Amino acid sequence: MDNTKRKMYARNIKIADKDIPDSVKQIWKLLSQTFKYTARISNIWPLLSTSFGLSEFELLNTATNENIMLESYLIDKMIEWQSGKDVDFSEIAERIKASQEFTEKEKVLVFEDEEEIGLRLWAIFLSISRPLY
């Protein structure tokens, strides 16, 4: 798959998409095996850390107003996506990044490659809406 097409997938993706890249399938499988039917969008932090192979986010503080607003935003985006509407995963990644403090290592690993976080967010949405197991 060429880069132009992959970037499209990282931006506006619908639940009905049939052409799912192998990298998304691998993460989707990992998340489905790890969380089975317990994955919820309000649990974005364990899902995101698992998808990047992190044990946890070092500076994570979920007891903030920003985190509460992020959860509400993510629920809205999940509902839109499940309804077949376009979802911009780059926008979602920016909201996630703005909601917390991150170490430099986490910033580079998680947020430096816009395409990569978009694909991982796609896998997270899939694992929540359609667990493989």
Q: What is the pLDDT of residue 18?
A: 67
Residue range of the domain that includes 110: 21-129
Is residue 11 a part of any domain in this protein? no
The tens digit of pLDDT for each residue in 46-56 reads 999 999 999 99
Evaluate whether residue 9 is within a structural domain.
no
Q: How confident is the model at residue 14 (pLDDT cuts 50, 70, 90)?
A: low
Position 80 in a domain: yes
Q: What confidence score (pLDDT) does residue 83 get?
A: 92
**Residue that wins the pLDDT comparison between 13 and 53:** 53
Within-domain flag for 7: no
CA distance 77 to 64: 20
Q: Count structural domains, the chain.
A: 1
Please state the three-class secondary structure of the chain as a single string: CCHHHHHHHHHECCCCCCCCCHHHHHHHHHHHHHHHHHCCHHHHHHHHHHHCCCCCCCCCCCCCHHHHHHHHHHHHHHHHHHCCCCCEHHHHHHHHHHHCCCCHHHHHHHHCCHHHHHHHHHHHHHHHHCCCC
Q: What is the pTM of this model?
A: 0.85
